[in-house]
Each structure stands twice: as structure tokens, then as C-alpha cells.
């Protein structure tokens, strides 16, 4: 039985005061919520502060990126062991902003996936097509290619206990979410694609939707059978809106 996971991707936002206020807001608003995993990924700078603020909280800590190297002369990078050391558990990789602005390839992202698994951390593997790819009817081919980078090098078993986030690039930060039916069709395609290699692994893998999820559209997205929570950007910066999204995920899977 899969549990949904709602994760906040804070991106390049915040300062010490905001971290403190937002986490205390979330700790209050999410008390007693059951049946849905919750995680936040603040900027790496604030992970330690966030870890302290999350002591005794069911909210897990996450991060937005990791390097493939474990240590050494790699200026500006952060390793899987460092993330583990400060208590981060869910690590976003392959976000479209990193694919676009930092030219991360499918092969590099697959390497990051392997490094995280090796460290006992949970990859949150972001995949999804651009608007042009969508219009060209290439959505499934793009998602398959991005999944295959891991599947073909590490096998289906590598997807045990991990999270995939389907995030159509045209929906990220645009206010234009995929419709529940559109998202469900792609989620089902992704699950079936993994099931061709291992049905059990496919049945347990969490597939989040991401892209303009907010407190208004979350419930109908989560009502879809293959949508297991969300990766939330903008709306994760507001405790009240994020709490509504988490509660919608918890309620959908109970009903
Ligand atoms: P958004 O971002 O919710 O602001 O669209 C989602 C994401 O980039 O993970």
C-alpha cells in the first residue's frame, strides 16, 4: 500500500527568519495529520537550522540537489554524506531548472541517483517534458528516456523505496497545472513502463505530480489513482496553503 508524499521545494528562497517562521507554521498546521508523508527542501544553507526546528516533528528534511562526488576538490558542491550528516533524507535530483540552467544530462542524473541510493538516501527523481515536446506528442518518449537512464544502468530494483516526480516543465511556476486526467495518464504510463521490468517495484514507487499545485487544485489531482502526492514549489512557501495540500493528499488516500 503506497502512501502519498507531499514535498515542498523551497528553491532559492528564504532567510533565517523565514525558515523559522515557516517551519513553526507548518509544525502547528500539520499536527495530527496522518496517512501522508511530508518533507521540505530548504536551501542547503539552512538545512541545519531546519533540522533543529523539525526536532519532534513528523516533517522530514530534504534537499534540492547533490553532487556525484563524495569528497575532494569540487568547489561549491555538496555530497550525499554531507546531506545525510545534517539529517536530510529526500533529495531532489533532475529538477528541470537544473537540467535547463546547469545543463544536467540524463546520465549525470542517473549517477546522482546511484550515489544517493548508495548513501541510503531517497532520490526524488524529477522527470517531465517541455511545452514544445508536449505539443510534438513526445511526452511519453521523454519520460521513458529520463526513467530509462536509471532503469537501464541500475535495474528496476533501484526504484524500490524511491520517489519519482512527474513535473511537466510547462506547468512549473506558470499557474497552469496539468489537468488531473492529463497527469493521471502520464503517471500510469510511467508506472506501466517500470512494471514491464518489475510489477512489484512499479506498484510501490511513489509518483508525485509537480507543477503549479496549490490549495485549490490539489484534491482533484490526488483523487487520481496513480498520483501519490506532490512536489510543490510556490505554494510550499506558505504554511497554510501547504497544509491544505498535505491534508488533501491524506484525505484522498483514506477515502
Ligand atoms: P511550482 O514548482 O509548484 O511553483 O510550479 C514545482 C517545482 O518546481 O517542483
174 CA: nearest ligand 1 atom? 5
Q: Is 123 helix (H, G, I), strand (E, B) or coil?
A: strand
> pLDDT band at residue 113, thresholds of 50, 70 and 90?
very high
What confidence score (pLDDT) does residue 198 get?
98
Q: Tell me, yes or no, if 167 is annotated catalytic.
A: yes
**Residue 154 sits in a domain of what CATH number?**
3.20.20.70
Rounded-to-integer distance, Cα 141 and Cα 160, Å: 23
Ligand 1 pocket mutation pick from 7, 8, 9 by most atoms within 8 angstroms of CB? 9
State which residues form the domain around 40. 5-254
Q: Quick one: average pLDDT of 95-122?
A: 98
Q: Quick one: average pLDDT of 143-164?
A: 98
Inter-residue contact 220 to 182 (CB < 8 Å): no
**Buried (b) or exposed (e) across 88-98, using 16+ Cβ within 10 A?**
bebbbbbbbbb
Give me the helices (H) in the chain, please.
16-29, 47-53, 80-85, 96-101, 106-119, 131-135, 139-154, 180-195, 199-204, 218-222, 239-254
Catalytic residue (one of 95, 97, 129, 187): 95
Residues with CB under 6 A from ligand 1: 9, 167, 172-173, 210-213, 231-235
Inter-residue contact 47 to 87 (CB < 8 Å): yes
Domain count, the chain: 1
Catalytic residue (one of 97, 129, 167, 187): 167
Q: 185-195, pLDDT tens digit by residue?
A: 999 999 999 99
Amino acid at each position: 500500500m503506497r502512501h502519498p508524499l507531499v514535498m515542498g521545494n523551497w528553491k532559492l528562497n528564504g532567510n533565517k527568519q523565514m525558515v523559522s517562521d515557516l517551519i513553526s507554521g507548518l509544525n502547528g498546521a500539520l499536527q495530527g495529520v496522518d496517512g501522508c508523508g511530508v518533507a521540505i527542501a530548504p536551501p542547503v544553507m539552512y538545512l541545519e537550522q531546519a533540522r533543529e526546528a523539525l526536532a519532534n516533528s513528523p516533517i522530514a528534511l530534504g534537499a534540492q540537489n547533490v553532487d556525484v562526488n563524495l569528497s575532494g576538490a569540487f568547489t561549491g558542491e555538496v555530497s550525499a554524506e554531507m546531506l545525510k550528516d545534517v539529517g536530510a533524507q529526500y533529495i531532489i535530483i533532475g529538477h528541470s531548472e537544473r537540467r535547463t540552467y546547469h545543463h544536467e544530462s540524463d546520465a549525470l542524473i542517473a549517477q546522482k541517483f546511484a550515489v544517493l541510493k548508495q548513501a541510503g538516501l531517497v532520490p526524488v527523481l524529477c522527470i517531465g517534458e517541455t511545452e514544445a515536446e508536449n505539443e510534438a506528442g513526445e511526452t511519453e518518449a521523454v519520460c521513458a528516456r529520463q526513467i530509462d537512464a536509471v532503469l537501464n544502468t541500475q535495474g528496476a530494483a533501484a526504484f524500490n523505496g524511491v520517489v519519482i516526480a512527474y513535473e511537466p516543465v510547462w506547468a512549473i511556476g506558470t499557474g497552469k497545472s496539468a489537468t488531473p486526467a492529463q497527469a493521471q495518464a502520464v503517471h500510469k504510463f510511467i508506472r506501466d513502463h517500470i512494471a514491464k521490468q518489475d510489477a512489484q517495484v512499479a506498484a510501490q514507487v511513489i509518483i508525485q505530480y509537480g507543477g503549479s499545485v496549490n490549495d485549490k487544485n490539489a484534491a482533484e489531482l490526488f483523487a487520481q489513482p496513480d498520483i501519490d502526492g506532490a512536489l510543490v514549489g510556490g505554494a510550499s512557501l506558505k504554511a497554510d496553503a501547504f497544509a491544505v495540500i498535505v491534508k488533501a493528499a491524506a484525505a484522498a488516500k483514506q477515502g
